[in-house]
Amino acid sequence: MSLWLAVAATGCAVEPPSQPDGWDSAVALQSARDLDARPGVVEVDLTARVGDVEIVPGKKTPTWTYNGGLPGPLIRASVGDRVIVHFRNELSEPTTVHWHGVRLPAEMDGAPGHSQPETPPGGGFTYDFVVPDAGLYWYHPHVNSAVQEGNGLYGPLLVEDPDEPAELGDELVLVLSDISLRDDGSLEDPDAGGNLGTLFGREGDLLLVNGRVNPVIGARAGLRQRWRIVNAAKSRYYQLLITDHRFTRIGGDGGFLEHPVEEDRILLTPGERADVVVTPRGAPGSTLSVRWVPYDRGYGATFARPEVEAFRLRLADEPVVHDEPLPEVARTIEALDTTAARHVDLQLTREEDSDDVVMGINGVPSWKAEPLMAAVGETAVWTVENTMAFDHPFHLHGFFFQVLGADGQPVRPLAWKDTVNVPVDGSARFAVRYDNRPGMWMFHCHILDHAEAGMMGMLHVVR
């Protein structure tokens, strides 16, 4: 009798298959320590400061960090929790913290001059808000953001739903970004490349996964993993694929989709998130390459950057695990009723008659723009048209929207999003309902060089 049968015959429980020991240690994120023992409250310290991180082995890189790490610490909460963040600014310039995607009160949104003053060097601010929706969110500065984020300031905020189905897969939070270093390990000037850099959007030469270059993640053939991914790069689109593999996308910016979709690649614009399940396959002991492949976001994009390995999966030597079916992850999402919706038409534009690259919305750069007006409770349909030869990932603060197709019907499966790509010479359309959170809300291109060049505006939601 084999050992296997012997175990079964004696009635001992058979251990469920698990990922190899230390499978995620190469991409482990520092976690924010919860200073508050009360259930339902997550209270953390977050300090922006320069810190030495090791990106290239053996070289110290002084980077702008939250709590000394690149990326910043993983803040974990459950739906409905109150999150309190004691923020300190130990940088040499003012900053704020924006909580990308979270439906919080406007005063907590980190929009300088609108929802809060800039936090000066040596200053602090207490963010205090409830997280109403499960999903992966992220935080980053909203002052001089192309430079500050390019220098390393970003981190993940994971809002978990204790009631979601168990066994969706062993979970990894993956913060994707990029960075450019000089030979001595120091950061490349974030403003390098002049006008052309601004126009194209500056991409770093090195791809980072949780701050590491090409890390190796342990896996087991046939045993699924669940990747919670955010693209925190300031300009780079991430398109990932694994030869002969497919991904099951179960969620996006604002939690689960209406139902999962099968995809042969993961595409994320700056700011977007994905919740994907992947089952690695291959010979035990072999390595799978997770490749970044160029995505054509406008003139030259596919020539500028060759394909590169973003990270690897090393399959354990043990035999293949027999796949278990994925539990059902359906979610009811009602399509917004747009019959009486207000229509908002925006064009993403570039000013032609200026020496510096200036971009805008409806021909007006952010520093000259008047806010759009809206009312609490109102539903609106935004049409965002691209007049430039580059894609723009368009992001609205504070509210989720539903992307609409050219026919005005919501794209299936229904999903809540806060960032959507506006392709070259094309447009994006979405429906949004302003729930009861009045205030000033920003919207902008999430290629942060474009946002800083003026492609940004304000939405004033009033009671």
Task: In whole angstroms, give the CA distance from residue 159 to residue 424.
Answer: 33
Residue 456 Cβ vs ligand C2O, minimum distance, rounded to whole Å: 8
Residue 450 touches which of ligand C2O, Cu ion, none (Cβ within 5-8 Å per kind): Cu ion
Residue 445 touches which of Cu ion, ligand C2O, none (Cβ within 5-8 Å per kind): Cu ion
In the complex with ligand C2O, the residue whose CB is nearer, 388 or 459, is 459
Task: In whole angstroms, give the CA distance from residue 48 to residue 92.
Answer: 10
At 290, phi and psi to the nearest 5?
-100, 105
Residue 392 touches which of ligand C2O, Cu ion, none (Cβ within 5-8 Å per kind): Cu ion
Residue 447 touches which of Cu ion, ligand C2O, none (Cβ within 5-8 Å per kind): Cu ion
Q: Is 98 one of the binding residues for ligand C2O (CB under 6 A)?
A: yes
Q: For 68-108, list the strands marked E by DSSP.
A: 75-78, 82-89, 98-100
Task: In whole angstroms, give the CA distance from residue 258 to residue 430.
Answer: 17
Q: CA angle, 152 as apex, 147 and 155 as ends, to 5°?
A: 120
Q: For 38-78, list the strands marked E by DSSP.
A: 41-53, 61-66, 75-78
Q: Is 398 one of the binding residues for ligand C2O (CB under 6 A)?
A: no
Q: Is 140 one of the binding residues for ligand C2O (CB under 6 A)?
A: yes
Choice from 29, 61, 100, 251 touching ligand C2O (CB under 6 A):
100
Task: In whole angstroms, give the CA distance from residue 291 to residue 242.
Answer: 6
Residue 81 Cβ vs ligand C2O, minimum distance, rounded to whole Å: 21
Length of the chain, in residues: 463
- Is residue 369 within 8 A of residue 331, CB to CB? The reply is no
CA dihedral 82, 45, 230, 247 (to 10 degrees): -70
Q: Is 417 one of the binding residues for ligand C2O (CB under 6 A)?
A: no
At 149, phi and psi to the nearest 5?
-70, -40
Residue 157 Cβ vs Cu ion, minimum distance, rounded to whole Å: 12
Binding mask 181-200 for ligand C2O (x = CB under 6 A): --------------------
| List of residues contacting Cu ion (CB under 5 A) | 100, 392, 397, 445, 447, 450
Say which residue the tokens 């979405």 belong to: 430
The number of beta carbons lying within 10 Å of the beta carbon of residue 406 is 8
Residue closest to ligand C2O when measured from CB atoms: 100
At 276, phi and psi to the nearest 5?
-130, 150
Residue 444 touches which of Cu ion, ligand C2O, none (Cβ within 5-8 Å per kind): ligand C2O
Binding mask 233-272 for ligand C2O (x = CB under 6 A): --------------------------------------x-
Residue 136 touches which of ligand C2O, Cu ion, none (Cβ within 5-8 Å per kind): none
- Tokens representing residue 362 in the block: 């409806």
Q: Is 397 one of the binding residues for ligand C2O (CB under 6 A)?
A: yes
List contacts with ligand C2O (CB under 6 A): 98, 100, 140, 142, 271, 395, 397, 442, 444, 446
